[in-house]
Amino acid sequence: MNSMRTMLLLTGLTGLLLALGGLLGGTTGMTIMLVVSIVTNFVSYWYSDKIVLSMYGAKLVTSQDSPELIRLVSALAQKAKIAIPKVYLTDADAPNAFATGRNPENAAVVLTKGIINVLDSQELEAVLAHELAHIKNRDTLISTIVATVAGVITMVANIIQWVVLLGFGKINQNEDNRFASTAEVIVMVLLAPLAATLIQFGISRAREFKADETGSQISGNPSALASALEKIERHAMDRVMPEATPATSHMFIVNPFSGKGNWVMNLFSTHPETRRRVEVLKQLAKK
């Protein structure tokens, strides 16, 4: 169900990008947007993990640095039947974690120093299993594609906005020789980025629920993951992660900005409510 929903939302995101291209330049504009989408996805596919690791100052952890941690990740990877990912550590005091990489064979798990200090051994194992679930389910690739296409949509909408503001209201002539009206352009410019954002959130939330479920199967301990999520969110209230950005917030196990905003910000969060995730995990534990 989640996989089908993700594919439908991805299709909708691509369609939105092509519609913007059509508004900007008819069939030619749609073709250009398709090419732009392919190129940006190709670049992000090969280099997004390196960019993110550099952004957060992540340092590679070896078996000499932390033999217990590497053994734990190796054992979980064997249970998940995937290649053993590289493990990185950041200096951030806020407890959190994320996975990155273009495929299960070239993946990495990133932990903050805070999560090592805050969680007990079972909770940490459950978090690692959740991140390995993202790798196993290829969510790292899906989230990269979604973030890239959503970013392109926002960029194109901004370009169209400036075209209109500079007085070129009739910016597109289609095959029927009908120009797009200024009103049509304005509506599309306003709605396209919002729609792209909502689609991105929909995909991200669906993949988090799926990773919780798969991760619980890998660790065999959904209760520990529920406890870890509650701890991480509670500490997010008073421990800041200055490197975190809205563009990468969807990658983390818990939104690094959770608890810092009002109900409106929580409504437009990249993650499901932690309370809801905990409820589902507790139901899994009963089973």
Active site residues: 131
One-character DSSP codes across 205-242: HHHHHHHHHHHHHHHS-HHHHHHHHHHHHHHHTT---T
The DSSP call for residue 144 is: H
Q: In whole angstroms, what is the distance from residue 215 CA to residue 163 CA?
A: 47
Counting beta carbons within 10 angstroms of the beta carbon of residue 203, is it exposed (0 to 12), middle (13 to 18) or buried (19 or more)? buried
- The first and second tokens of residue 79, run together, are 């249970």
Q: What is the SS3 assignment for 55?
A: helix
Query: What kind and span of H or E run contains 5?
Result: helix 2-55
Q: In whole angstroms, what is the distance from residue 154 CA to residue 23 CA?
A: 14
Nearest to 252 by CA among 112, 46, 113: 112
The number of angstroms, rounded, from the C-alpha of 165 to the middle of its chain's C-alpha atoms is 33
Angle at 77 between CA 284 and CA 271, to 5 degrees: 50
Q: How many CB atoms lie within 10 A of CB 72?
A: 17
- 264 HSE (CA, 13 A, CB side): 0
